[in-house]
Chains A and B, each alone.
Chain A
Amino acid sequence: MFDHFVVPKLMPAAPEIFLATMALLILFIDLVVKDSRRSLTYLATQGTLLALLVWRGAPYLAAIAGNNPEALSEVSEIVYTFSNMFVLDLMADLLKLFLYATVMVVLFYSRNYLLDRETLNKGEYYVLTLFATLGMMVMISANHFVTIYIGLELLSLSLYAMVAMNRDSVVSTEAAMKYFVLGALASGFLLYGMSMIYGATGTLEITGVSERLMGGNVNKGVLIFGLVFLVAGLAFKLGVVPFHMWIPDVYHGAPTSVTLLIGSAPKLAAFAIVMRLLVNGLITLAVDWQQMLIVLSVLSMAIGNLAAIAQTNLKRMLAYSAISHMGFMLLGITTGVLSVPGGMLDARPALNAYSSAMFYVIAYVLMTAGTFGMILMMARAGFEADELDDFKGLNQRSPWFAGIMLMLMFSMAGVPFFVGFFAKFSVLEAVVASGQYWLAIVAVLFSLIGAFYYLRVVKLMYFDAPTNPAPLEAGMDMRILISANGLAVALFGIFPQTIMSLCAYALLRSL
């Protein structure tokens, strides 16, 4: 009966197995340590992520330092394991590296915020963060509909609980409830779409789906029907219009440290599953899903940017900004395949388009981490610092951090020579290369509108009198990391080539 079964290769999934083991171990350690030693949980969590980062990141460092991509040849082979359910390619490896770094930074920024708030500062917070990270890693490396779904649920379930952890707050509980109900609905959409595609192709494996589609003889109607639901589910998870309703409430209602987590790392994973499902699996339907994504993208940029102007709460403003940024990122994905007259597809611009989208996501995560980090740094016990007015006159209180925030806001707005500018630039380049000039014009127009509310924050910091003139208080470690984050936004704006070529190389070896 089991003759045909071979034990799967475990090595490609070693980071996942290590993280899962460590998460279980930390859960147990947290159970037995005294309250006074609770920081052990935090240190163990950070240690786990650091170990993964060093272990998986070493070849990249060698490749960048020696300027030879040959050093990556060992990690850049596409490996399938667990009956083709798991794939390890360079895109997955690179995204996971950014994921570890992001989660580490997120936990670091959140540390003092959590210490000030007793209901949040529990060992479970860190364990749930690790499980969410595991879910994202599973999503990034998924090559099977079931794995994508399980990874997504692992991520979402951890996040729902973390949003609700501030359980005595009505706003947080409401946010968690909305997130939970809409997330479940989105999962339902995604599953329904997957089941339709399974019905049409007869396989759940993503590479298998693409092979069946290449082979032809698949019922197109059923496939498109499934695709609609699939795109709707993905749009929910990315938070693009018209499936964006949960984003502002969840960003606003969740504790800021959780908002930082929701707003940063999961975008990397969402990008990965969009790539896996739409590009790896359904590339032959590209013309169909590109049309859907263009609609979603334009609507997101419009509603995201316009609604952000009306916000007085910084977290809510950043939520709408996240919607518009995700819309912009989708533009990059919509330009990968051109339909050439005669019913043929031209996939030559694909590499450029998808790597611009990947660069955009990475740049966005970098900027958003810094911005929420600033809110977390200014927050104290009993004070959230999440209103726009709390940033009034920051320049008088701390010129250095006003400068850092200025760089982050400029970068988000896409002012030249910050990383956000190059992210927008590379996506626009891909759009123009595909010949959709109107789309590029719309994108630029909405970016201009968006610049208004970013610059308003700058105006508040530099030209308004502070409500509380006391100088900014923060620990030295926090100051250093936030400064590094802000300077990275400037540095990668001047030298975007490293990450950009890394993205391009990763996608070249993965697609």
Chain B
Amino acid sequence: MDFQTFVFFFLSAILIFAALRVITSRNPVYAVLHLILAFFTCGGIWALLQAEFLAIAIILVYVGAVMVLFLFVVMMLDINVDRLREGFWNYLPLGAILGILMVVEMGLVLGQKYFQVPAAGAVLPAGVSNTREIAVEMFTNFVYPFELASIVLLVGMVAAIVLTYRGPKASKNTNPNKQVFVKAKDRVRVLQMPVEKD
């Protein structure tokens, strides 16, 4: 086993462990943190496959932006894990049968020789840059889906706004400028009251 193979199996083991922890951990924050670990090791495996652009993109985009946001959301929501787990044992038999069936079938197909690509065939010739190739494809042959993807993002933005925006609210901000220049007579109203006599 050469060093590359060792790194691959090492990263894969961490990936599988992290993915399992995502669905088994009781604390949603731990689950999210393990998901980050899973993405990170996934990026490592892609780097091993010489897809350095995708490796950096998944770490920057997923770990750096999406998951951090997700972590904040999870921390802010008070998720009751026990409620989520209600009915787990009721659904387990059917779920387990379907799951095992899928795993066995997938194992049979994916275990075929077809998917065992020889490592030597997967080496890029020198001077070919993965990032450059992706960029060229994206802006030439894939320009149509690329533009459409931008519209999908716009729809996401419009949808988020329409679902959360509830019209302008009366602002309760304080204006520091006015606060500084405030005078005593603006705040205290002195009333003249006749003394009440018994």
Report A's interface with B, CB cutoff 8 A: 1-2, 5, 8, 13, 20, 24, 27, 82-83, 85-86, 122, 124, 127-128, 131, 134, 138, 144, 146-147, 150-151, 153-154, 157-158, 160-161, 164-165, 167, 199, 219, 221-222, 225
Q: Which residues of B contact A20 (CB under 8 A)?
A: 151
B156 within 8 A of A: yes
Most A-side CB within 10 Å, residue of B140, B149, B161: B140
| Interchain CB contact under 8 A, A150 and B145 | yes
B170 within 8 A of A: no
Beyond A13-B144, A222-B115, A225-B106, list 18 extra A-B contacts (CB 8 Å). Answer: A2-B136, A8-B144, A20-B151, A82-B143, A83-B141, A83-B142, A124-B159, A124-B161, A127-B158, A128-B162, A138-B148, A146-B142, A147-B145, A147-B148, A154-B148, A157-B159, A158-B159, A221-B109
**A319 → chain B closest CB, angstroms:** 23
**A187 CA to B161 CA, complexed, in Å:** 24
Select one of B112, B114, B151, B163 contacting A154, CB under 8 A.
Answer: B151
Counting contact residues on chain B (CB < 8 A from A), the size range is: 20 to 34
B20 within 8 A of A: no
B103 within 8 A of A: no
Name the CB-closest residue of A to B137.
A83
Q: Digitize B149-167: 1 where CB-to-A-CB distance is under 8 Å, 0 elsewhere.
A: 1011011101101110000
12 A–B contacts, CB within 8 A, in A order: A8-B143, A85-B144, A85-B145, A86-B144, A124-B161, A127-B158, A128-B158, A147-B144, A157-B152, A157-B159, A199-B115, A221-B109
Select one of B105, B142, B162 contacting A165, CB under 8 A.
Answer: B162
**B187 → chain A closest CB, angstroms:** 39
Q: Which of B41-92 contact A (CB under 8 A)?
A: none
Q: Which residues of A contact B114 (CB under 8 A)?
A: 219, 221-222
Select one of B106, B112, B145, B155 contacting A158, CB under 8 A.
Answer: B155
| Interchain CB contact under 8 A, A27 and B158 | yes
Q: Which residues of A contact B148 (CB under 8 A)?
A: 138, 147, 150-151, 154
Report B's interface with A, CB cutoff 8 A: 105-106, 109, 112, 114-115, 136, 140-145, 148-149, 151-152, 154-156, 158-159, 161-163
**A147 CA to B161 CA, complexed, in Å:** 26
| Interchain CB contact under 8 A, A131 and B155 | yes
**A116 CA to B162 CA, complexed, in Å:** 18
**A84 → chain B closest CB, angstroms:** 9
Given contacts A27-B158, A150-B152, contact A1 B109 (CB under 8 A): no
| Interchain CB contact under 8 A, B158 and A165 | no
Name the CB-closest residue of A to B159.
A161
Given contacts A5-B140, A124-B161, contact A154 B155 (CB under 8 A): yes
Q: Which residues of A contact B154 (CB under 8 A)?
A: 24, 131
Select one of A83, A134, A144, A157 contacting B156, CB under 8 A.
Answer: A157
| Interchain CB contact under 8 A, B162 and A134 | no
**B127 → chain A closest CB, angstroms:** 13
Q: Which residues of A contact B156 (CB under 8 A)?
A: 157
Q: Which residues of B contact A2 (CB under 8 A)?
A: 136, 140
**B139 → chain A closest CB, angstroms:** 9
Given contacts A124-B158, A164-B163, contact A134 B144 (CB under 8 A): no
Q: Which residues of B contact A160 (CB under 8 A)?
A: 159
